[in-house]
Amino acid sequence: MGNGTSRLYSALAKTVNSSAAAQHPEYLVSTDPEHLEPIDPKELLEECRAVLHTRPPRYQRDFVDLRTDCSSSHSPIRVMQWNILAQALGEGKDNFVQCPVEALKWEERKCLILEEI
């Protein structure tokens, strides 16, 4: 993972109440991400899978390479977008009364976000 992705992943990992995060207590006290050792993403994903075991599987996206010249030396990039409106669902700042309560649980939402990253 790239450096920016690692920082985002680690920031979300701070909120995971798990053995993977517990093995790195420095994430809970340090404010400087440059001095932190990365948490093993595989450990974190295994814990997320345990949390999400009752949910349907995450939608698998097929990425399409639009380049016609595949001999390019440029590395591919992936853009991640955060839906701020969806964030409001989990914070009770709206009137979406038909949203299922289980969809708003942060314990599950954060694991879904980590899996997506």
Where do the domains of the chain lie?
Answer: 3-58+82-116
The chain-wide mean pLDDT, for the chain, equals: 70
pTM of this structure:
0.50
Helices (H), the chain: 3-13, 19-22, 26-29, 41-51, 84-89, 106-116
Count CA within 13 A, CB hemisphere, residue 102. 5
**Model confidence pLDDT, tens digit, residues 14-25:** 555 555 555 555
**Model confidence pLDDT, tens digit, residues 30-47:** 556 666 677 888 888 899
